[in-house]
Structure 1
Amino acid sequence: MRRRCQHVRPAVPVSEFAGFRFPPEVIVLAARWYLRYGLSYRDVEELLAERGITVDHVTIYRRVLRFTPLLVEAARPCRHSTGDRWFVGETYVKVVGRWTYLYRAVDQVGQVIDVLAAEHRDLAAARRFFTRALSHSRKPVEVTTDRAPVYPRVLDEQLPAAHHVDVARANNRIESDHSRLKARLRPMRGLKRLRSAQTISAGNALVQNIRRGHYELGTDTDTDPRLRLTTAFAELTLAI
């Protein structure tokens, strides 16, 4: 039986929500809806209006960008250890009309390990991605990638002991996982900033991992599995 995660609040005088017009519950609700469902910011604005909450879609956009990284960081102590087999690949989205690459990795049980938005698909971007991923994950014994020529060099530098697999169709696991992210990004009709691509992709990964049971959040035995995400975000609200 897994030990329940206990958040440690930092020694700060006020909550991150202090000074904002709306209470934490409303801010996190808007962020959760946006990260979980195929909604636009205007859709979230309309749903909140149905609950008697009047807020402009631009404000929702700003709050999602402000609080999603905080939610991701607050959840980190509750995250399960990553697996020892990684599947790494890139997908892409448009940012201000230009294709931007999203480096992503999942392990053998479907946990999203990390996400990195980059303007270029090159050695520097691949190196940054692995540096980020390894900073908060255990080293894998096997890494499966596509046949991009940068990967052997990066893996030789950072994971020389890992077995590298790049045969055709071996990376179907990450390709399938990309489709879930792309389904979420599709209603946005393009993003305006690289920061938005990074934040929304990381937030979507958090939502996926919680729903798949890769965090000790929303895991009370009497919690309806359909409410796991709702309960988890309520716990994270208290942590920030």
Structure 2
Amino acid sequence: MGAVSALSYKGHRYPVEVISHCVGLYFRFPLSFREVEELMLERGIVVSYETIRRWCAKFGQAYANALRRRQPRPGDKWHLDEVFIKINGRLRYLWRAVDQDGMLLDIPVQNRRDTAAAKRFFRRLLKNTGAVPRVIVTDKLRSYGAAHREVMPSVEHRQSKYLNNGAENSHQPTRQRERAMKGFRSMGGAQRFLSTFSGISPHFRPRRHLIPTSDYRTEMTIRFAIWEQITGAAGLPTAP
């Protein structure tokens, strides 16, 4: 697939290389918009943090969607989990599903973690992935059992707090960003950020602990090339 053809950079006075690099930095690392602004200034590129914020809002989700379209089909074993998340001082719930290889399947934010919320999560998973797993693994929250019986009765359901490390560990990058951002201000804002972040950040996070250094570098070179392709960038310009 080529660049994000549905988007137009027309009217932007900065080249696509700068725009895509700023968006990539923000969603790849735990940086603020002001910190991205400072990194660009170090390279001789003067751009305000407010402009970077607008770029992330306009292009981030499209980049994330383009990367998701390149992902392989999900595996047949899904790990599901939910954690508390504080939004504007109130506790909400962040649900997450990953397959056995750690690929993120979905990450909705909901008000509750009751049976109705679990059912919505299950139905959304089936719709968004277009697949049905062989096995789902969850903790012992009762809502999972009730939702499983109604939405996925033919799927094997394993409930154990010890079998679900894959989903629990996948929350760590989100927690890191949540701390860096000093929390989220609204559910809509949290969902928009996490939807984009979860599409971009994993692209730059191959499972480094599982591969030799030389293979890791080769893999990252490939991923950088894919990023340039889907954003339409050709490489960050050097400072004058």
Counterpart check, 1:180 vs 2:153: no
Residues 9, 44 of structure 1: CA spacing in aligned structure 2 closer, same or farther, 3 A cutoff? closer
Give the total of aligned pairs.
223
**Could you list the per-position Cα deviations for residues 161-205 of structure 1 after superposition, in whole angstroms to 9, with x for gaps in the alignment?**
111111231212211121232123321111223233223323332
Offset of residue 98 of structure 1: 2.0
Give the Cα separation in 1 of the matches to 2:158 and 2:149. 13
- Superposition pairs for residues 68-217 of structure 1, below 5 Å? 68-137=60-129, 138-206=131-199, 207-209=201-203, 211-212=205-206
Give the Cα separation in 2 of the matches to 1:21 and 1:118. 39
Whether the 8 Å CA contact 2:96–2:107 is kept in 1: the answer is: yes
Unmatched segments (≥5 aa) in structure 2: 208-214, 234-240
Residues 77, 19 of structure 1: CA spacing in aligned structure 2 closer, same or farther, 3 A cutoff? same
Q: SS where residue 224 of structure 1 aligns? A: helix
Give the Cα separation in 2 of the matches to 1:92 and 1:24. 37
Corresponding residue for 1:232?
A: 226
Offset of residue 210 of structure 1: 5.4
Give the Cα separation in 1 of the matches to 2:71 and 2:10. 26
Residue identity over aligned pairs, in percent, reads: 32
Counterpart check, 1:57 vs 2:57: no
Whether the 8 Å CA contact 2:204–2:220 is kept in 1: the answer is: no
Residues 91, 65 of structure 1: CA spacing in aligned structure 2 closer, same or farther, 3 A cutoff? farther
For 2:198, the aligned partner's letter is A
Corresponding residue for 1:19?
A: 11
Give the Cα separation in 2 of the matches to 1:27 and 1:94. 31
Whether the 8 Å CA contact 1:7–1:77 is kept in 2: the answer is: no
Give the alignment's TM-score, normalised by structure 1: 0.81
Give the Cα separation in 1 of the matches to 2:31 and 2:65. 24
For 2:128, the aligned partner's letter is H
Moved over 4 A (4+): 7-10
Instruction: Provide the aligned C-alpha RMSD in A.
Output: 2.5
For 1:156, the aligned partner's letter is R
Give the alignment's TM-score, normalised by structure 2: 0.81
Whether the 8 Å CA contact 1:191–1:197 is kept in 2: the answer is: yes
Whether the 8 Å CA contact 1:211–1:228 is kept in 2: the answer is: no
Give the Cα separation in 1 of the matches to 2:191 and 2:4. 25
Whether the 8 Å CA contact 1:68–1:199 is kept in 2: the answer is: no
Residues 100, 180 of structure 1: CA spacing in aligned structure 2 closer, same or farther, 3 A cutoff? same
Corresponding residue for 1:218?
A: none
Give the Cα separation in 2 of the matches to 1:202 and 1:96. 19
